[in-house]
Structure 1
Amino acid sequence: MPETDGSGTQHRVSASVSALYRHPVKGFTPEPLDRVSLTAGRHFPGDRLYAVEVGPSGFDPDTPGHVSKMKFVVLARFAAVAKVRTRWDAATGLLSARREGRPDLDVDLDDPADRRRLEAWLSEALGDDVDAPLKVLSAKGHRFMDDPAGHVSILNLASVRDFEARLGRPVDPLRFRANIHVEGWPAWVENDWAGREIAVGGARLAVVKPIVRCGATHVDPATGERDIDLVPALFETYGHRWCGLYLSVMTDGPVAIGDPVEIFA
């Protein structure tokens, strides 16, 4: 697919999937995947299935609706979330939670008693920052997305590299908590793609809009420390607060690391 750079010159963009991630519990550890199957009208598999409320949030599992992320345990609110390492087993529903200095925990997220155990463990693991009762939430068919339109998110790694070059310091792509990392696009070319379609592996997706970034990106995902005022830096550098795209899935298809990515008019 030809793209036009700032000089008006057209060139063909060759891009591919370089990484895939799900975030089973909103705000917690990204989990790398080798492949997924996307389904039309559905979210990224295994992504944001659960959230931990700092209550009460007003979320009703019987009539689930969008609730602000600031009602939950997320990096934008608690940097120490990055110091908790979680891993979810889709086949069994078991979640493992680890934090240095705390006993390891393994729970069944479908078991109410185990949810209470996780809530108590997290309250202690996160310490004095937690100022209200925690509650693990889920609802059939619901995903705890930052934006209701954000079924799938894509990150252009060239944009991240351009940003870190201008900052003069490394920027871990995991700060942006995207589902699909793409290699091969020019930096920031994706900002003008709202309304266009993208083929990713065997699936086809529609670009909804660029992702407006928040304070969650200020936290180093490796250390759990707030070390870069990334959102103000984005605006000062580029005049916007975008990094990545929200998309919806139009047609079913498999997606794997190394698969081609093509943008259409």
Structure 2
Amino acid sequence: MRIETIYRYPVKGLTAEAMEEVGLTPGATLPEDRRFALAQGDSAFNPDAPAWVPKRNFGCLMANARLALVHSAFDARTGELVLRIPGSAPVIASTRTDEGRAAIARALTAALGEEARGTPRFVEAPGHSFSDVAKKVVSIIGLSSLHALEQVAGMPLDPLRFRANVYVSGGKPWAEFDWIGREILLGQARLRVVKRIVRCPATEVNPLTAERDAQPPRWLREHFGHADLGIYAEVLEGGRIAVGDALEVTDPEG
């Protein structure tokens, strides 16, 4: 199998950023992946004592489809985040200052409109990932499985609906489900596959139009007997991964 695309998502619920290559570190996500989030005003998240809390505590596509219309770009070197929101002037602000984070929070709160709860905060916590799961993982989707879903859906599905880090070609549909508990080589890194990814209503949202114009979770259940697409894997040994690199299952099936 071959890596076709690699993405990070610096702000939970916002723009995917394509990468040609990236270094993986043991026990960590992709660098900058889900580093930031917009915490709703009633969120239980405490940046001073960060702990995993469910996605509804934050702005997220599952509940806030309109976030798909916000285009963001993060510069990890300078810490600047650029937001382009339809009908508003671009916002360029630092994620490293109180003033910059407040400006980002105001812009995203305005984008949420009536879906904002209380006074949302733009948050991060060193070493914390605002992933949908508590374990720090890399998400991988086999494009053969996505194509199988497209066939029963009768329509193309933008892979970015599923917000994975790595998309790979080759192999049979759903073959990745057989890797749970097994090790894989991804480029120069070694990972262990830990679980399947259960799909939620976020995948209903068209990443270009913000319309809920598809029903992947329902289609998966009706046609395949589950609501899963993709896998989570934890990094055991770090290394570089790049577009064009191979994915190989290293240990024999037990």
Letter of the 2:40 counterpart: V
Gaps (5+ residues) in structure 2?
none
1:133 corresponding residue in structure 2: 119
Q: 1:120 aligns with which of 98, 106, 123?
A: 106
Deviation at 1:125, TM superposition (A): 2.1
Indicate yes or no: 2:85 matched with 1:99: yes
Residue by residue, what CA displacement relative to the aligned partner does 1:123-156 show, whole Å, maximum 9, x if unpaired? 2222222232210111111111101125110011
1:213 corresponding residue in structure 2: 199
Residue by residue, what CA displacement relative to the aligned partner does 1:51-103 show, whole Å, maximum 9, x if unpaired? 10112211122221101001100000100000000000011110000022111
1:11 corresponding residue in structure 2: none
1:82 corresponding residue in structure 2: 68
Letter of the 2:230 counterpart: G
Indicate yes or no: 2:215 matched with 1:232: no
Secondary structure, aligned partner of 2:152: helix
Q: 2:5 aligns with which of 13, 19, 26?
A: 19
Residue by residue, what CA displacement relative to the aligned partner does 1:27-50 show, whole Å, maximum 9, x if unpaired? 110100010000111111110001
Q: 1:70 aligns with which of 56, 60, 64?
A: 56
* Cα distance in 2, alignment partners of residues 169 and 141 from structure 1: 39
| Equivalent residue pairs, number | 251
* Cα distance in 1, alignment partners of residues 136 and 180 from structure 2: 13
* Cα distance in 1, alignment partners of residues 90 and 112 from structure 2: 14
Q: What TM-score does the superposition give when structure 2 sets the normalisation length?
A: 0.96
Letter of the 1:123 counterpart: T
Segment drifting more, 146-155 vs 121-130: 121-130
Contact 1:25/1:49 (<8 A) preserved: yes
Q: 1:180 aligns with which of 146, 153, 166?
A: 166
1:242 corresponding residue in structure 2: 228
Q: 1:44 aligns with which of 20, 30, 43?
A: 30
Q: 1:253 aligns with which of 224, 239, 242?
A: 239
Deviation at 1:17, TM superposition (A): 0.5
2:94 corresponding residue in structure 1: 108
* Cα distance in 2, alignment partners of residues 125 and 69 from structure 1: 18
Letter of the 1:122 counterpart: L
Deviation at 1:114, TM superposition (A): 1.0
Contact 1:48/1:143 (<8 A) preserved: yes
Contact 2:28/2:136 (<8 A) preserved: no
Q: What TM-score does the superposition give when structure 1 sets the normalisation length?
A: 0.92
1:10 corresponding residue in structure 2: none
1:3 corresponding residue in structure 2: none
TM-align CA RMSD:
1.0
Identity of aligned residues (%): 41
Gaps (5+ residues) in structure 1?
1-14
Secondary structure, aligned partner of 1:20: strand
* Cα distance in 1, alignment partners of residues 15 and 146 from structure 2: 20
Secondary structure, aligned partner of 2:23: strand
